[in-house]
């Protein structure tokens, strides 16, 4: 079943979105360009996020069609002519600061909902995840990688900085110094190094089997448990031990009420 979204929005962004029960499969579907992303891609992803905020799915799986997860920003954005129907980087640079910041904020919506939606999000990375592709993978709750997956944050190589929400999850996963190394050098990392550094959750020989295993595991608990677990864990790092214990208590009260009833 295809989710209810404007077909032209998904088509223009080269994004597929298909539901299988309570699991939503989102695919960057531009294999001839290694799933390079454009503002249209981000508009489609943001629209999917808006739908997921309403409880569309319990699990959302992100994939890239073909041999790459995503090669990052479509390089045509750097050219004077840009991409037909899209705002080029040159046109963006001509905007007043506030308008430019607002434009980037709209792009960022595609990458910020994955840890806010009432669903567990999984990135299934089978090949290169570069720049915006790496940031999309980092946006998810769980990052599964095949042994052939590679990762790089190349923005500084083009005189830019990562601006699609990827810096915070990267620093939280690997620490400040390693994040500086990754972003400043733009070097390529394999799946095993990503696992050692902490931003890859698992390296799996059979990526689809790995995804199916996670989906089955998180789909088996009683409804609501995973949805309440996610914000509990997401806020743990910045909370004091006492405050986190209080959050745990409130979450458990809600779970017990849902399971057993009572006042």
- Domain-located, residue 1: no
- Note down the domain range covering 250: 225-260
Considering the domain architecture, whether residues 11 and 90 belong to the same structural domain is answered as yes
pLDDT score at 56 = 85
pLDDT (mean) for 65-79: 95
d(CA 124, CA 138): 11
Considering the domain architecture, whether residues 187 and 235 belong to the same structural domain is answered as no
d(CA 141, CA 58): 13
pLDDT band at 4 (very low <50, low <70, confident <90, very high): low
pLDDT score at 134 = 98
The C-alpha R_g of the chain, in whole angstroms, comes to 19
Q: Is the pLDDT of residue 97 over 90?
A: yes
Considering the domain architecture, whether residues 254 and 207 belong to the same structural domain is answered as no
Considering the domain architecture, whether residues 123 and 238 belong to the same structural domain is answered as no
Per residue in 119-149, pLDDT (tens digit) is: 999 999 999 999 999 999 999 999 999 999 9
Is the distance from CB of 52 to CB of 60 less than 8 angstroms?
yes
By C-alpha distance, which of 137, 142, 147, 118 is closest to 57? Answer: 118
Considering the domain architecture, whether residues 179 and 229 belong to the same structural domain is answered as no
pLDDT (mean) for 38-53: 95
Considering the domain architecture, whether residues 193 and 234 belong to the same structural domain is answered as no
Considering the domain architecture, whether residues 50 and 95 belong to the same structural domain is answered as yes
Is the distance from CB of 38 to CB of 28 less than 8 angstroms?
no
Per residue in 154-210, pLDDT (tens digit) is: 999 999 999 999 999 999 999 999 999 999 999 999 999 999 999 999 999 999 999
Q: Is the pLDDT of residue 219 over 70?
A: yes
pLDDT score at 80 = 87
What separation, in Å, do the N-terminal and C-terminal C-alpha atoms of the chain show?
A: 39
- Domain-located, residue 97: yes
Q: Where are the alpha helices (DSSP H) in the chain?
A: 7-13, 39-53, 89-93, 97-112, 132-139, 167-174, 176-185, 191-197, 207-219, 225-234, 241-260
- Domain-located, residue 2: no
For the chain, give the mean pLDDT.
93
pLDDT score at 228 = 87
DSSP string, 160-204: ----SS-HHHHHHHH-HHHHHHHHHH---EEHHHHHHHTS-SEE-
Is the distance from CB of 57 to CB of 19 less than 8 angstroms?
yes
Considering the domain architecture, whether residues 186 and 247 belong to the same structural domain is answered as no
Considering the domain architecture, whether residues 182 and 248 belong to the same structural domain is answered as no
| CATH number of the domain where residue 188 is located | 3.90.226.10
Considering the domain architecture, whether residues 211 and 230 belong to the same structural domain is answered as no
Considering the domain architecture, whether residues 215 and 233 belong to the same structural domain is answered as no
Counted domains in the chain: 2
Considering the domain architecture, whether residues 128 and 215 belong to the same structural domain is answered as yes
d(CA 228, CA 252): 9
């Amino acid at each position: 079943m295809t989710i209810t979204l404007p077909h032209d929005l998904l088509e223009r962004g080269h994004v597929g979105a298909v539901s299988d029960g309570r699991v939503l499969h989102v695919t960057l579907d531009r294999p001839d360009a290694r799933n390079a992303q454009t503002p249209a891609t981000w508009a489609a992803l943001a629209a999917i996020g808006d739908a997921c905020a309403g409880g569309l799915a319990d699990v959302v799986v992100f994939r890239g069609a073909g041999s790459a997860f995503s090669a990052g920003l479509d390089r045509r954005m750097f050219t004077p002519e840009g991409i037909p129907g899209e705002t080029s980087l040159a046109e963006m640079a001509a905007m007043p600061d506030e308008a430019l910041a607002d434009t980037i904020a709209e792009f960022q919506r595609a990458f910020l909902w994955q840890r806010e939606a009432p669903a567990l999000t999984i990135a299934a990375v089978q090949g290169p995840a570069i720049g915006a592709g790496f940031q999309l993978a980092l946006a998810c709750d769980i990052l599964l990688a095949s042994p052939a997956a590679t990762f790089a944050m190349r923005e500084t190589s083009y005189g830019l900085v990562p601006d699609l929400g990827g810096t915070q999850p990267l620093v939280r996963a690997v620490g400040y110094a390693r994040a500086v190394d990754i972003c400043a050098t733009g070097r390529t990392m394999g799946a095993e190094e990503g696992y050692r550094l902490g931003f890859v959750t698992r390296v799996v020989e059979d990526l689809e089997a790995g995804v199916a295993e996670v989906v089955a595991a998180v789909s088996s608990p009683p409804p609501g448990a995973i949805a309440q677990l996610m914000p509990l864990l997401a806020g743990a790092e910045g909370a004091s031990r006492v405050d986190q214990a209080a959050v745990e208590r409130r979450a458990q009260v809600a779970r017990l009420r849902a399971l057993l009833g009572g006042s």
